[in-house]
Amino acid sequence: MKIRTLLVDDQSTGLAVLRDMLHSEPDLEIVATATSGSEAVEAINRLAPDLIFLDVQMPGLDGFGVVSEIKLPRMPIIIFVTGHDDYAVKAFEAHALDFLVKPCQLARLRTAVQRARQQLQSHQNSDIQQKLDGLLQDLKAVSKYPERLAVKSNGRIIFLKLTDIDLVEAADNYVELHVGKEVHLFRETLTALEEKLPPDRFVRISRSIIVNIESVKELHPLFHGEYSVTLHNGTRVTLTRGYREQLRQLGVMT
């Protein structure tokens, strides 16, 4: 029996890597892919797949939002894919839900697929809805981070979505919020603002710089344990030696 599988990732490279890794699982039939939360909801409710590999961090409707929009009489098996070893991972474990941490390891993926295969063969996914409901309730309970910041500028208030902020830089008792080519001054210290930013999306790389993890394009090792960090918009900043432990949050295993 073929396991009808849907792949969801907002990055085409992520989809390509996952598809290639699943070539070793001949009983998995990839029926569709989706690159956004809204596409995923439409495909899931239309195709009713048996198994979903669901990216957690997506702009707009994220993986958890997708789960809340599934309207099927029987919930598919879901293997969550997350870019960071954060609170969400602990929540998956607490509710006995499977997950993969990017970059995905082949052995770990095979284990997750085998577990899903066994659940489907023995019809053990009957309680998946209850597990997912518990997960969403837990995540909602700890959701203390705002989705946007209200910034005063030239006599008006501009609302900036956190997902659009590439870089935060200290400027005395203010911070500079870099959004694409725009820079907005926000009356808040870097340390105070850091506490308001979700740690699964933003990481402090020096005493004066916080970056949006999704905005990071590449890292280049420098001298004495430092790294040059290049963002997708071309901006270059430095991850200093005292913040080397943050490399793990950026997906680098040290």
Report long-range pairs for 234-242 (Cβ below 8 Å, ≥24 apart): 235/166, 235/167, 235/178, 237/167, 237/205, 237/206, 237/209, 237/211, 238/205, 238/206, 238/209, 239/205, 239/206, 240/205, 240/206, 240/207, 242/206, 242/207
On whether the pTM is more than 0.85, the answer is no
pLDDT-derived band at 124 (thresholds 50, 70, 90) equals: low
Q: Where are the beta strands (DSSP E) in the chain?
A: 3-8, 28-34, 51-55, 77-82, 99-101, 148-153, 156-161, 167-171, 174-179, 182-186, 202-204, 209-212, 216-221, 227-231, 236-239
The more confidently predicted of residues 52 and 244 is: 52
Q: CATH 3.40.50.2300 occupies which residues in the chain? A: 3-139
CATH classification for the domain delimited by 3-139, as one of 3.40.50.2300, 3.40.50.1980, 3.90.800.10, 3.30.420.480: 3.40.50.2300
Question: Residue 64 above 90 pLDDT?
Answer: no
Question: Residue 143 above 60 pLDDT?
Answer: no
Second CATH level (architecture) for the domain 148-247: Beta Barrel (2.40)
The 10s digit of each residue's pLDDT in 150-191 is 898 888 899 999 889 999 999 988 999 999 989 999 998 998
- What mean pLDDT do residues 210-218 have? 94
- The percentage of the chain sitting over the pLDDT mark of 70, rounded to a whole number, equals 93
CA distance 83 to 80: 10
Mean pLDDT across the chain: 88
